Amino acid sequence: MGDALRALVDAVGLDVGPGTEVLSDDESWTLDVDAAGEHIWVATRSRPLWLRRGEDIACVDAGAAALVGPHPGITVSTGSHRSGPPRVADNYEYDHEALFAHTGVLVGAASLGPLADEVLALPPIATTGPPGAPSPDVVLALRHVAHLDGGRWHGAQRQALARLVVTTVLRDNPPPMLGDNGLARVLDRLFDPAGPPSVRALLDGIDMSERTLERRCAAATGCTPAQLGRWYRSLSIRNALARGDPPAEVAARSGYSTTSSMRRALARVRPPTNRRAERW
């Protein structure tokens, strides 16, 4: 991920569960997933999948992954039509028969902070790209998962690999406001958690005038660089308030003398234009 996208993901907050492999003795199956409050990530090693989220449908090819937004009706299927649920036998005549139940399909949960829609503007089903091609990072992650031996670091390794899968999906579906590649280096600096840079620092080594920066930033985000910087710096404060941290404590550690001054500053924050075009 680019520095700007990484900074935005960190500001939103991302917690990824390690996931579990779907086991099934049947070649065709449909898994129902209840994800009313969390995103669901899906990765498939060797077979295509069909994902449904309400009215939204996406096909995920072998070696690819997807991140599905919260919804009470999510299904993962091996075909375009619904099949029975995945099932495995209670016991097998030969031990090696249990190996055939491994599908190479992993499903897990991912929690994004309350500002995810505003900041990341993900589609209902986000997939790795380009369509129809395996993702090298997903392929490597799934290959490592398949070779884990259940040793001491088994759980930690699986969680790290799951996070790699999810961040790969995020990388391939950057927020629309990051769509102007010419602004990438500027936004990398603007969203630096170390602090707000000056306009001169933003443009250091970049062949762009201050007026051009203002124009291109407004076209890509609907904000000036100053407005965009204030919005980014507000994210950690708003996240803390959303999770229930005492306002006085949030104001103090954010450098405000009073909660009133903090709330006045937040009231002046202007979110960027950051919506994906509707697909028909």
User: Which of 174, 200, 232 delimits the end of a domain?
Assistant: 174
Q: Which residues contact 219 (CB under 8 A, 6 or more apart)?
A: 180
- What are all long-range contacts of 133-139, with beta carbons under 8 Å and residues at least 24 apart? 133/61, 133/63, 133/64, 134/61, 134/62, 134/63, 134/64, 135/63, 135/64, 135/65, 135/168, 135/172, 137/164, 137/165, 137/168, 138/43, 138/63, 138/64, 138/65, 138/165, 138/168, 139/45, 139/63
User: Which of 148, 174, 200 delimits the end of a domain?
Assistant: 174
Q: What distance in Å separates the CA atoms of residue 65 and residue 252, rounded to the nearest whole number?
A: 41
CA 231 from chain centre, in angstroms, equals 20
Into how many domains does the chain fold? 2
191 and 95 in a common domain? no
Asked if residue 126 is part of any domain, the answer here is: yes
Q: What distance in Å separates the CA atoms of residue 143 and residue 161, rounded to the nearest whole number?
A: 10
DSSP state of 153: T
pLDDT at 35: 77
Q: What distance in Å separates the CA atoms of residue 233 and residue 85, rounded to the nearest whole number?
A: 46
Asked if residue 273 is part of any domain, the answer here is: no
170 and 74 in a common domain? yes
Q: Consecutive sets of 10 residues in the chain, 280 residues long: mean pLDDT of each?
A: 89 93 94 88 96 95 96 94 91 76 93 94 95 93 78 74 96 91 89 85 90 92 93 94 94 94 95 70
208 and 80 in a common domain? no
CATH label of the domain that carries residue 222: 1.10.10.60
DSSP state of 271: P
**Tokens standing for 53?**
């989220």
Asked if residue 278 is part of any domain, the answer here is: no
CATH label of the domain that carries residue 120: 2.60.120
**C-alpha closest to that of 2 among 188, 166, 172:** 188
For residue 52, what are the β-bridge partners?
57, 75
239 and 134 in a common domain? no
Whether 116 and 133 have beta carbons less than 8 Å apart is answered as no
For residue 68, what are the β-bridge partners?
40, 125
pLDDT at 193: 84
159 and 70 in a common domain? yes
Q: pTM score, two decimals?
A: 0.90
153 and 126 in a common domain? yes
